[in-house]
Amino acid sequence: VDTSDEWIYTRTGIRERRIASEQETTATLAFEAAARALVIADMHPSQVELIIVATSTPEYIFPSTACRVQDYLGATRAGAFDLSAACSGFVYGLSMAAQSIQSGAVRNAVVIGAETMSRVLDWQDRGTCILFGDGAGAVVLKGSSVPGGVLASTLRSDGSGGDMLSLPAVYHNPMPMLGPEYLHNGHQNNTVAMNGRQVFRFATQVVADSVEETVLKAGLTMDDVALIVPHQANIRIIQGTAKKMGVPMDHVIVTVQDHGNTSAASIPLALSVGAAQGKLKQGDLIVTEAIGGGLAWGAVVLRW
């Protein structure tokens, strides 16, 4: 496509991204991430009680990616389902899993964000094909009498903005979205279509508010926040949101330069990088936030 490294870097912050090999699928990436997380959590797969895979790129509507991961892991006592909230899927999944544990329904959960976005891009569309990457990350949540973990969450949506960012399902030709005609004009079927400028504007309006609301719900203030782990869509959105919240950039984990936009996988990947770099310290207050297709957005406040 007609683009340049300079345009991509200055407008998005992206330097590199990963593309899955032919042998890899969203399920195999999700499995690898979950298996590694379980080793770190010192848990045997047979102890897992819930598996949530946040993804927009399942191979099948059913069986769910989560059920395939359950089988690959040998997690014989786990419930498993996929969660569809596009780029916000991991934030939604984290919130759902924590509430399942807090209610006593399950004792633990594996929450995975996994995507093979490269398979659903229109490689002729320079507005999207330069942005997205493949990857997977996972966290293990366990119930504990020690205070901490997920403290509060805020989940929001505005379906009237659905036409700004969409990916048709594969099983039929969907009705066209109400909204700007051009979105699916000239697009290959079953590929991502996005009005980047509109999504950009919306993102910079709503995300900071949902973070502040969530921190307040947890009975804390923004001064208590040690680290923001945002969805990695665009460095300019990350910087703009941090500025709006009054959070300095050295309190923000940024991985968009290495991964591109990996949709639901971006936050667990960023958590993994942050953990490997020693940036996530026990007891730190951490906020994850995301916005994407739906439109759906939200934030989770947690004590690491």
Closest CB to ligand UT7 among residues 149, 196: 196
Q: Strands 50-54, 285-292: parallel, antiparallel or unpaired by DSSP?
A: unpaired
Distance CA 214, CA 94 (A): 14
CB 33 within 8 A of CB 111: no
Helix (H) or strand (E) holding 52: strand 50-54
Pick the binder of ligand UT7 from 7, 9, 123, 182 (CB under 6 A): 7
Q: Which of 234, 255, 262, 272 binds ligand UT7 (CB under 6 A)?
A: 234
Q: Let me know if 231 is a catalytic residue.
A: yes
CA distance 233 to 235: 7
Neighbours of 83 (CB within 10 A): 23
Q: Which of 95, 261, 262, 288 binds ligand UT7 (CB under 6 A)?
A: 261
Task: Pick the catalytic residue from 67, 108, 195, 231.
Answer: 231
Among 67, 87, 108, 234, which one carries the catalytic annotation?
87
Question: Rounded to an integer, what distance in angstroms lies between the CA atom of residue 55 and that of residue 49?
Answer: 20
As a whole number of angstroms, the distance between CA 79 and CA 240 comes to 39
Q: Does 123 bind ligand UT7 (CB under 6 A)?
A: no
- 197 scored as a contact of ligand UT7 (CB under 6 A): yes
Number of residue whose CB is nearest ligand UT7: 196
Contact 33, 114 (CB under 8 A): yes
Task: Out of 30, 50, 51, 237, point to the residue binding ligand UT7 (CB under 6 A).
Answer: 237
Residues near ligand UT7 (CB under 6 A), total? 19
Residue with tokens 């709503």: 206
Quick one: 130 or 150, whose CB is closer to ligand UT7? Answer: 130
**Is 108 an active-site residue?**
no
Is 87 an annotated catalytic residue?
Answer: yes
Positions marked active-site: 87, 231, 261
* Chain residues in the site for ligand UT7 (CB under 6 A): 3, 7, 11-12, 87, 126-127, 130, 165, 196-197, 199-200, 203, 233-234, 237, 261, 292
